[in-house]
Amino acid sequence: MIKLHGVSKQYHSSGGSFQAVQDVTLDIQKGEIHGIIGMSGAGKSTLLRIMNVLEKPDQGSVEVDGRELNRLRGRALREARRSIGMIFQHYNLVYNRTVSGNVAIPLELAKAARTERNERVLEVLKFVGLLDKADQYPARLSGGQKQRVAIARALASRPSVLLCDEPTSALDPQTTGEILEVLRHVNRSLGVTIVIVTHDMDVVNRICTRVSVMENGRLISTQPVEVKPNE
């Protein structure tokens, strides 16, 4: 589903150069929940953004669902990205738009018909348990509800891949558990391949099928996560 081969990314500034990702090769299988863990500055968030070419690698290839994204440009790249949803630590919601307005954004960008947009927005809000919040504004929501809106927005365009950058690090333990259950539901019900960047091994143990460990921009290991008996 996601194949990275020899990807590297270096940043340059007046203070010098920084190698964020160095020669990473990784194969993420269709339908899995894959964790990427490491200390702050390990390169895990940069690697995640390379997966949809929000960060273009300096070298190497990025293949998602059979398409080599780093070779695409313009409209072709935009269309390919529609199959890749993304959620962030701080939600990235538009606070002067309602919940339904936020969820509709990717559908508006794709120029979907109004009727289709409205139906899809209600469908995904129901899926994440926020149908009753459709007309509210994000400022009135809890952190967990805001993250559910972000998940609904990411699902609106029916992605096959969902990239999650520290999706629970701003949440309390109970809400973290609730969001992980939503993501598990997305994976099991819709067959969406999920990649989660986190610094929390408990998140990995609770939801991931495999985990990759990063250190100083390098991929140190990839291994299966032991499934707990009650899961």
Q: Edge-to-edge strand order for the sheet containing 67-68?
A: 16-28, 2-13, 59-64, 67-68
Are 153 and 106 in contact by the 8 Å Cβ rule? The answer is yes
Question: Where along the chain do its domains lie?
Answer: 1-83+159-231, 93-158
Q: Report the pLDDT value the prediction gives residue 229, as an integer from 0 to 100.
A: 47
Q: Report the pLDDT value the prediction gives residue 78, as an integer from 0 to 100.
A: 87
Select from 3.40.190.10, 3.40.50.720, 3.40.50.300, 3.40.50.12280 the CATH code of 1-83+159-231: 3.40.50.300
Q: Report the pLDDT value the prediction gives residue 15, as an integer from 0 to 100.
A: 80
Cβ-based neighbours of 88, under 8 Å, separated by 6 or more: 150, 165, 166, 167
Name the nearest CA neighbour of 51 among 109, 102, 9, 93. 9
Contacts 24+ apart (CB under 8 A), 201-206: 201/37, 203/35, 203/168, 203/176, 204/35, 204/37, 206/177, 206/180
- Cα separation, 36 vs 43, in Å, equals 10
Beta strands 16-28 and 67-68: pairing type?
unpaired
Name the nearest CA neighbour of 33 among 169, 175, 171, 167. 167
Q: Report the pLDDT value the prediction gives residue 45, as an integer from 0 to 100.
A: 94
Ranges of residues in the chain with a pLDDT under 70 are: 227-231
- Cα separation, 93 vs 98, in Å, equals 10
Per-residue tokens: 40: 């702050």
Residue 11 backbone dihedrals phi, psi, to 5 degrees: -110, 145
